[in-house]
Structure 1
Amino acid sequence: MLRIEKYAAIDIGSNAIRLLIATVIEREGDPPQFKKTSLVRVPIRLGADVFLEGNISEGNILRMLDAMQAFSLLMKNHKVITHRACATSAMREAKNGEEVAKRIFKETGLRIHIIDGKDEAAIIASTDLRDLIDDNKAFLYVDVGGGSTEFTVFANGKSVVSKSFQLGTVRIINDMVRDTIWEEVKKWIKTHTKDFRKINVIGSGGNINSIYKYSGKKIGKPLSYFFLSNYFEMIKDKTYHERIFELQMNPDRADVIIPATKIYLSAMKWSKAKNIFVPKVGLADGIIKSLYNEREAKRMEVK
């Protein structure tokens, strides 16, 4: 007998807002299966407002309301049993972030949890990476977003240390990253990876997924530092419009892909990693896993 339920996660980032609906299939005696049923991405670049003006503009608030109303209807149609919406860098830095969250709740019924960098890193670290994280290996997990990048070091099959930095792609293209931040990230990565003889990077985020798709690699195979370096030089030599037309990138991807690739390359260089794995997991996956674990805990209490 199977138990089949649907969960939903809304990730409100600095570059885009995403709705992930996942189907969780359970059979007694076996580990649960998590299947991505639907993923909807809306390119509302909140970071462009917040990092430059300090507030979310009325125009983008109205776009958010439309998106959240649509997400609510999609979840209803899918018969989602529980959901959670988490907002990251842009909304937590916006002066009107809390006000916007209240307005969205009032008009759509969807409550937004504005989480800090540590919570974001912890949720991402909770994703199921068992297929990659071996007890005898060390990894540096790098999740690049529009407003911030989360770094987590895994060793002996466990999370060792995590940190969030205000080094995001939207922030970079708008010249909103202070000069010292790169040095801070470099120092942190070197400090926390120097004791490992060999380390690999795990990349997360829409940009590295786009690069991985372009590479044509089979799922599970890593990208090399050499490949990523050549890719970086190639996209730098193309104009914004050439990246859209020739490389078939979405317009909201074609500008942020360069700083994103630079962050991944830097992380590999400073940790001395030769490969980067791309398991396609991120904040939304972590939210789904958290919701499932919470429901399981409640079921155990009832028993």
Structure 2
Amino acid sequence: MLKIKKYAAIDIGSNAMRLLITNIVEQEGAATHFNKNSLVRVPIRLGQDSFTIGEISKENIERMIDAMIAFRLLMKVHKVEKYLAFATSAMREAKNSKEVIAIIKNQTKIKIEVIDGNKEAAIIASTDLHQLLKYDKTYLYVDVGGGSTEFSLFSNAKLIVSKSFKAGTVRLLNEMVLENVWKEMKEWITENTLYYDEVILIGSGGNINKIFKMSGKIQDSPLSYLYLNSQFAYLNSLTYEQRITELSLNTDRADVIIPALKIYLNAMKWSGARNIYVPKIGLSDGIVKAMYYGKI
């Protein structure tokens, strides 16, 4: 007998807000399948407020309310039976986050939970990441967001260690990542990967997904360090306007894609990784799966 449930996840990031609606297909005697039904992304750059003025502006509070009303209506139309809304780095650091959460709950009936970097990394790890992990390999999972980057090291298909750093694309654009943060990242990656013969990177985030799509490679094929480095140099040679007109990048992607690549390239260099895999997973996928399996 076939049964289909619909779950949704709202991811309130530093660069954008996302609504993922997923079909969960259950069939007796078969593995449960998670199929993306709809993904809506709204480029409200909350990190620009939070990291520069320390709070979410009135304009962006209004935009958040409008987005949440739209998300709620979409979930109603899709007959979503269960959902969660999580906010990450920008909302963690905004002085008025509690006020914003209360306003949104009052006007949209959607409750937002602000999560720390460790919980964010744990939720992402509850995706289908385990299907990529081979027992005889070591992987460094890197999730680059607008406000922070989460690193998780896996060996023998088990999580060894993870850490979150305040180094994200929006922070980098605003020159708010201090040199000591880069130093801490380098030391953490170097120390934790030192005794492994070979490390393979797994990357997640909108920017690395865009780079992978631009490569034209088939899913499950890796990108090399040399390819990533050449793309970094090429994109850096173009103006912001050229990246939009010639490469058809979204306006909110054309600027953050370069600092994102800088983080991935440094992670590869410091860990000695020669390849990076880019599976279609992220926080939204992790929220749905964690809800389904009762982990959150």
Give your verdict on TM over 0.5: yes
Aligned-partner Cα distance in 1 for 2:132–2:121: 18
How much does 1:88 deviate?
0.1
- Which residue number corresponds to residue 79 of structure 2? 79
Poorly superposed stretches of 4+, deviation over 4 Å:
none
* Alpha-carbon displacement from aligned partner over 1:126-171 (angstroms, at most 9, x marks no partner): 1111331111111000000000000000111111111110000000
Alignment of 1:75-154 (within 5 A): 75-154=75-154
In the alignment, what sits opposite 1:68? 68
Q: Does the residue aligned with 2:189 lie in a helix, a strand or coil?
A: helix
Offset of residue 121 of structure 1: 1.1
Tell which deviates more after alignment, 193-202 or 127-136: 127-136
Q: Give the Cα separation in 2 of the matches to 1:271 and 1:288.
A: 31
Q: Which moved more, 1:286-295 or 1:60-69?
A: 286-295
Instruction: List per-residue Cα deviations over 1:38-72 (Å, max 9, x = no partner).
Output: 00000000000010000000000000000000000
Give 5+ residue unaligned stretches, structure 1: 298-303
Identity %: 59
Alignment-derived partner of residue 27 in structure 2 = 27
What TM-score, normalized to structure 1? 0.96
Matches within 5 A, 1:284-299: 284-294=284-294
Task: Return the alpha-carbon distance in structure 2 between the equivalents of residues 95 and 227 of structure 1.
Answer: 41
Aligned partner of 2:255 in structure 1 is 255
- The aligned residue for residue 168 of structure 2 is 168
CA distance in 2, matches of 1:255, 1:192: 31
Alignment match, 1:300? none
Distance in 2 between residues matched to 1:173 and 1:7, nearest whole Å = 34
Q: How many Å apart are 1:3 and its aligned residue?
A: 1.2
Q: Determine the C-alpha separation between the residues in 2 that align with 1:132 and 1:12.
A: 27
The residue aligned with 1:15 is 15
**What CA distance in whole angstroms lies between the structure 2 residues aligned with 1:29 and 1:155?**
31
Aligned to 1:301: none
Question: Quick one: distance in 2 between partners of 1:34 and 1:277?
Answer: 20
Instruction: State the distance in 2 between where 1:231 and 1:262 align.
Output: 11
> Following TM superposition, by how much is the alpha carbon of 1:179 offset from its aligned partner in structure 2, in angstroms?
1.7
Q: Please tell me the residue identity of whatever aligns with 1:186.
A: K
Q: Helix, strand or coil: the match of 2:293?
A: helix
Alignment partner, residue 201 of structure 1: 201
What is the one-letter code of the residue matched to 1:7?
Y
Query: 1:187 — aligned with what?
Result: 187
Q: Aligned partners of 2:104, 2:88: CA distance in 1, in Å? A: 16
Separation in structure 1 between the aligned mates of residue 164 and residue 194 of structure 2, nearest angstrom:
19
Whole-Å Cα distance in 1 between the matches of residues 230 and 43 of structure 2? 28
Please give the secondary structure, in 1, of the residue aligned with 2:131. coil
1:50 is the counterpart of 2:47: no
Write the letter of the residue equivalent to 1:67.
A
Count of residue pairs brought into register by the alignment = 296
TM-score normalised by structure 2 residue count: 0.98
Aligned residue number for residue 4 of structure 1: 4
The CA RMSD over aligned residues, in Å, is 1.0
Report the equivalent of 2:214. 214
Distance apart, 1:195 and its partner CA: 1.4
Alpha-carbon distance between aligned partners in 2 of 1:102 and 1:117, rounded to the nearest angstrom = 22
In structure 2, stretches of 5+ residues that fail to align are: none
What is the rounded CA distance, in whole Å, between the counterparts of 1:107 and 1:175 in structure 2?
A: 35
d(CA) in 2 for partners of 1:233, 1:171: 21
**Offset of 1:124 from its aligned partner?**
1.2
Deviation at 1:176, TM superposition (A): 1.1
Displacement after TM superposition at 1:280 (Å): 1.5
Give me the whole-angstrom Cα distance separating, in 2, the residues matched to 1:138 and 1:206. 24
Q: Deviation per CA, 1:240-280, whole angstroms, max 9, x where unpaired?
A: 00111111100100000110000000000111001000002
